[in-house]
Amino acid sequence: MSDLKNTKGLKTKTIIIAVNEFFQDGPGAASRFMCLQARGLSDLGYRVHIIASKGHWAGKRIINDSVTATCLRRAIPGCKTLRERIAHRISYFHWTLKILLAIICSRSDIIFFYAPAVAFVLLVPVARLLGMQTFYFDGDVRGRIVMTASSWINRATDYIQFKAMGYLASSASWTVLGGTKELEAVYRRLAPRARIFRLYPPTDTQLFKSGEGEAFRKRRNLGDRPLIGYAGAVNTNEGIHILLEAFAMTRIRIPDAILLLAGLMSQSLHITGKPLDLEKLAEDLNISDSVLFLGPIPLREVVDLYAACDVLVNPKVDHLANRVASPIKVGEYLASGTPMISSRVGELDEILVDGEEAIFFKPGNVEELANCLTDILLATPQRRDYIGKRAQEAARKNFDYSSWALRIHQTIAMNTDHKVTQ
């Protein structure tokens, strides 16, 4: 954190963050990413105003002395009726207009565009024309490259977003990718002249090392049983079916172990869209009595879950969507100090030392994952503590939001001084 306090002489600048996502406590990694963006930059002396398309309120709120947020409408689960869809489109138009007015009328120096919203194709040139530094952020490709959406409307939307990716990267002052070298390669093919650099998704390392594991165990009546934990989307792209099968093998040697799965469960296969029932899979494997599907839980409860577990698992399968992304949960896992087992997807084994800072297995290899789970659960407390402490050091080095904010600040200062280098 000391680096945040050493930016002397920084003239107060205002940053607009434009995002077509939930704010402030919306679901998923994108919302946490936004909050940490704003927090890190405000710690450095910037004023930040977030303009989000939706949130848990409608209107403008003061988050702290340096951060304000405007949400154009209260979030409504789904848009099923015609009336809801019309309201959604009107709200999207108002959100676009709000950003345009902020660009034209405010005295902001910098604007961040988060992900390839179609509206940004119109807004980036206006911001550049008015002399603003423009940063375009993206962290994955979702269906934009693989085109797996079930309806032709969604596929058309994915295709438009895919084309927008290249345009935005080419048009912005800088493109910041929260993903892997493979994601960077995608963007360099789309926008060969774009100025691109990569940063791992920011994590509040202090928050995730503060978990109260014993309290979590008491609340859930888990006693001192060995706990394997996972938090995130519960679907096959995340490898949850692999984890369930590996847990079934682990239970043969460690019968009192429990698997905790926190997050929203998909009702269909992530890639093909076919029906999926992970709870039935647990029953078929005869492990349903030892698998707890917790559903979505509050962030504070996630922090405590990490601390309560003996090992955390990132079992992603080998798929393009996973190879390009750097999951935000990895930084959180590491910061918690609980040993992490991860598949070798997303280039994590290039920045983390296997057996020291994390434990890796071949993606999709059930037997290898089961062996890793068994080994770490049967390891001495000293061994688990050693891996956990090394993991926390890696989290502070690679994922802490203060380091993220400092790199963005340095890039802004470089542009301001007209010393932009590739």
Q: Rounded CA gap, 345 and 322, in Å? A: 7
List 400's β-bridge partners, or say none: 203
Map tokens 């946490």 to a residue.
32
pLDDT at position 142: 57
pLDDT at position 69: 87
Where does residue 45 rank: exposed (0-12), middle (13-18), buried (19+ CB within 10 A)? middle
Is there a common fold for 2-202+400-416 and 205-398?
A: yes
The domain defined by 205-398 carries CATH number 3.30.360.10? no
Q: Rounded CA gap, 28 and 30, in Å? A: 6
Which one, of 266, 322, 325, 321, lies nearest residue 143 by Cα? 321
Instruction: Give Cα separations from 288 to 225, 234, 237, 295 (angstroms).
Output: 16, 15, 21, 15
Judged by DSSP in three states, 372 sits in helix
Q: What is the mean pLDDT of each run of 10 residues along the chain (422 residues)?
A: 44 86 65 84 93 78 86 66 78 91 89 89 93 91 51 65 85 92 91 93 94 97 97 91 97 97 79 75 96 94 97 93 88 97 94 96 97 97 97 95 94 66 38
pLDDT at position 419: 39
Each domain of the chain, given as residue ranges in start order, spans: 2-202+400-416, 205-398
What does residue 360 show for φ and ψ, rounded to 5 degrees? -110, 150
pLDDT at position 26: 55
For the chain, state the CA radius of gyration. Answer: 22
For 2-202+400-416, the fitting CATH number among 3.40.50.1580, 3.30.450.40, 3.40.50.2000, 3.90.1150.10 is 3.40.50.2000
H/E element holding 323? Answer: helix 320-323
What does residue 400 show for φ and ψ, rounded to 5 degrees? -65, 140
pLDDT at position 80: 66
pLDDT at position 124: 94
pLDDT at position 60: 82
Q: Rounded CA gap, 313 and 243, in Å? A: 8
pLDDT at position 360: 98
pLDDT at position 321: 82
First to last CA, the chain: 27
CA 77 vs. chain centroid, Å, equals 21
pLDDT at position 15: 94
Query: Tell me, what amino acid is at 328?
Result: I
